[in-house]
Amino acid sequence: MANGILVVGDIAPETQAAVTGVVKALEKAFNAKDPVALSEQFAHETSWTNAMGVRLDGREVIAESSAPAMKGFLRDSYARYDVVKLLELAPGVIAVNVAQAPTDSEGGPAEGVRGAALYVIAEREDGWKIVAGQNTIVQTPGA
């Protein structure tokens, strides 16, 4: 385990940092309600399934879909994204398990829906990008 992250495979420290950086940039964009910055963490050709079960294909579609949600039902939602596992699938391709916890606008703990995401992050010409993934709502026991 490195920094509390389970690392499976021979993933160089700089790759771990780059992949974790994508996740933190995604978190920052979500919390800033910036659909363009959020979409820039995805490859141009990508497949993403959001927490509502809607598949979005392509960076532009992700930006277009995120904008109204961030101005609407997600406008008061904030979260912390913690990388919990990195799994090397192939050279330059990492599966990343992420735990999402609700926060207040200042980043402090808050009540709310938790999530679990799986991102496949690959090295592309324009850097490390999410090429596929799914976000899942996690129900707390007894809810």
Average pLDDT across the chain, whole number: 95
pLDDT at 142: 60
Mean pLDDT to the nearest integer, 127-141: 92
Taking the model in full, what pTM does it have? 0.94
Contacts of 47 (CB under 8 A, 6+ apart): 55, 56, 57, 131, 132, 133
Q: Who wins on pLDDT, 77 or 143?
A: 77
* Buried residues in 25-53 as b, exposed as e (16+ CB within 10 A): bbbebbbebbbebbbbbbbeebbbbbeee
pLDDT at 139: 79
pLDDT in tens, 98-123: 999 999 999 999 999 999 999 999 99
